Structure 1
């Protein structure tokens, strides 16, 4: 059951990549707190995760396709009078050595993690501008704060989201449209399990590094048992209290530690510490 609000105060949130993991958790949390939720899904078959929720509305939307975005947007704005908040959550991982990377996977992560955010914002800015209010919450990552081994592609896209969001915020302040980013570490969702990795090679040092990094990240995900709930609750707070000025919200011990650790050490000492951690025998 969801908490009933006065019809005049019911707010609407749109979430990309809502079919599973963090996106699904955000959708269910906002629904249970009385928000109207627009859950966008790559596949219509994924809508079953929201069966029984009368205030969650599902739409097929592929953030890599301009045609799909426009079609979904037109139908969404036809069905719903106003959108208050958009959470750009859709994202994928790609863990590869630069030498072994393949074009299809590079294109995929760039098109989803960065250009997907760009295109969703571009599509819905006119709606926000016309109603003189709106909020973009762009999901970043600890990868948007620091640079770590085997993150050449994932980190690049998340840091692009950070730069894009901050630059865009200047354009939209006059129209009462707020922009923020949210960074966090490895939450206990299926994200790490679904990360695409390059194939093993005959370069032994590459294989050893891949095993070490994958083990570290999976262990972090397992240990961060409360992180998903912390992220969801923080996003709900941000949505309920939009800030006109651009903000970066860092959630969880891992992300906050790495953020200040990197700032304190500087890039040279930070690089030495990370190398010793990864290459320790």
Structure 2
């Protein structure tokens, strides 16, 4: 069974939607594999990649300084993933906040960084990179009420795999974003069933987790991928299994030649 057929089979068994897109590193325009790749889905913390991309571009352009100190405001603090809720320091540099966002998906760091940069600027940068469907709707909220936007971020696997391919093959700000993605501590989704050295530079990614959402976007060897799973509340275990099976299948794809 070829990879597309296998992932289509996994998607058919998934209690919701499983979307997968794979591109060759450095070739954001060429789709190697796609299943439901253009379906718009909630992203959970994978949406933080858009924020990190804008911060990386702003650092390169001199709009932001990595050493600029940002004071945390009470409204920035948010439960869920991260470390800042348990730390006493109230001021962090832009570089610190970006690393915390990338490495441990810190929701408080994300909110502080997003407040500093601005939601509109993040979405404008994403659109300039060719992400026409993928965007942020709001800051991180725990809990999210009916009065709030329905989710943090929305997007497609096709666009996010394109972003990963662009980041993997580029220089300048892309190098900074790759370094942040390499710092991610969560390898529990796409690479979970694939034998790899946790400390090697073989996987650089960003994951997202929420009730009924499991997402993973990144670079695995010479492949840039996006795997998005969305289902009804309580389906998390099945979504995790689907994403991991998709990751195992992608690991068996032929690696593109080095550019």
Q: TM-score, normalised by structure 2?
A: 0.26
Q: Choose 1 or 2 for highest CA Rg.
A: 1
Q: TM-score, normalised by structure 1?
A: 0.24
Which has the larger share of strand?
2
Structure ranking higher on relative contact order (CA contacts 8 Å, 6+ apart): 2
